[in-house]
Structure 1
Amino acid sequence: MIDLFSDKLSSYLKNKYPEELPALSIVRYSIKFLISNVLPIIIIILSSILFQMTKEVVIGLLGFCILRMFSGGYHVKSAELCILTSVTVIYLIAIVGQQINSYMIVLDLISIILVGIYAPSNIKKQTRIKEENYRYLKLMSLIIVTSNIFIQSNILSVAFLIQSITLIRNLNSMKEVKSE
């Protein structure tokens, strides 16, 4: 659905503005990127206002996304599934995060271990960062997760744990093998 919309809109725009726009493939990719990345955030923020969970959702969204920028992780194959997964995961983080007062330090320690072992994960085709600089991504990821020991946010504990689980390469490999 997103691919079809991106194809039609990019073709329309390229026909209407042939000199002003770059190649059709670049326009198509840009539209798909915007839909896949901006739409989930808009859905999450607007629905969080409706459900009166804005603070919790924003904390979960920021924690998850900031750690993901440095640590990488599994990517679902379709844009539609990515949007559905993103919205579901962020709400899961916000709801569960409010319930886990006594387990926060355990979740933080598990996240630190997973990030220490697996970060960065699944980023070779996603970034232009050279492999010799991956250690800095790991260090930043560890700093981010460890910061919650001082911040003491239940929601960040859950966000970091879920993001840390997406780093596990064996899970990523199993999903990639099944799709081949």
Structure 2
Amino acid sequence: MKRNGADPSVSERTLRFALMLWISMIFIIMLTAAGGIFLGVFSEAIAALAVLGLLRYFSGGWHFKQMDACVIFTAAVAIGIAMMPAIEEIWLIPLNIVSLALVLLLAPTGHGQKFSNVKQKTAFKWISVILVTINFVALNQIAVVSTLFQSLTLITRKGGG
């Protein structure tokens, strides 16, 4: 990679890690799509994965040590959320309140995230809050459960905020 024009100041280890992240993301999408097609919940599984991934990008959260575990677990969660039986709408708001409280208190965790300054960290927090707040209007079960699941990953031994 370095011989083909990569920034010489970036270590080979960092480049390998970045490449592995991209590969794992592709596998997560492929495994979620395949499982969703096989189980008849393709669009729901992809929607769950999109919500999980978007909130995760801004809020951070707990990580597996092995990327293959992350791939399997993330795809299983997205498919599991897609296959959940319907939840009465009255429960979606309390579930979303839990998500909002966790995001307000703990996001961004900084686990797997590098902030260039305090302003960026603050922006990531408020983007996370906005993403969860949208659920109060949308009241979409897949979005609410996905944000709840992702917000629970903010609870780590290292803490967040």
Q: Identify the TM-score tier after normalising by the shorter chain.
A: 0.7 to 0.9
Structure number with the higher helix fraction is 1
Extract unaligned runs of 5+ from structure 2.
Answer: none
Structure 2 residue 40 is matched with structure 1 residue 52: yes
How far is the alpha carbon of 1:19 from its aligned partner?
4.8
Correspondence for 1:147: 134
Q: Cα deviation per residue 1:64-101 (whole Å; 9 max; x = unaligned)?
A: 111111111111111111111111211222122x4212
**Which one is further off, 87-96 or 128-137?**
128-137
Q: Between the two proteins, what is the percent identity of the paired residues?
A: 27
CA distance in 2, matches of 1:113, 1:154: 18
**Which one is further off, 102-111 or 125-134?**
125-134
Correspondence for 2:52: 64
| Number of positions where the alignment pairs a residue of Structure 1 with one of Structure 2 | 154
CA distance in 1, matches of 2:115, 2:132: 24
CA distance in 2, matches of 1:140, 1:45: 27
How far is the alpha carbon of 1:172 from its aligned partner?
3.6
Give the 3 Å change call, closer, same or farther, for CA 105–79 of structure 1 in structure 2.
same
CA distance in 1, matches of 2:132, 2:15: 36
Give the 3 Å change call, closer, same or farther, for CA 28–21 of structure 1 in structure 2.
farther
The ranges of structure 1 where at least 4 consecutive aligned residues each deviate by more than 6 angstroms after the TM superposition are none
Extract unaligned runs of 5+ from structure 1.
Answer: 1-13, 175-180
Cα RMSD (Å):
2.3
Structure 2 length as normaliser, TM-score? 0.83
Structure of higher CA gyration radius: 1
Q: SS state of the match for residue 126, structure 1?
A: coil
Give the 3 Å change call, closer, same or farther, for CA 117–39 of structure 1 in structure 2.
same
Q: 2:121 aligns with which of 134, 146, 153?
A: 134
On the 8 A contact 1:72/1:121 being kept in 2, the answer is: yes
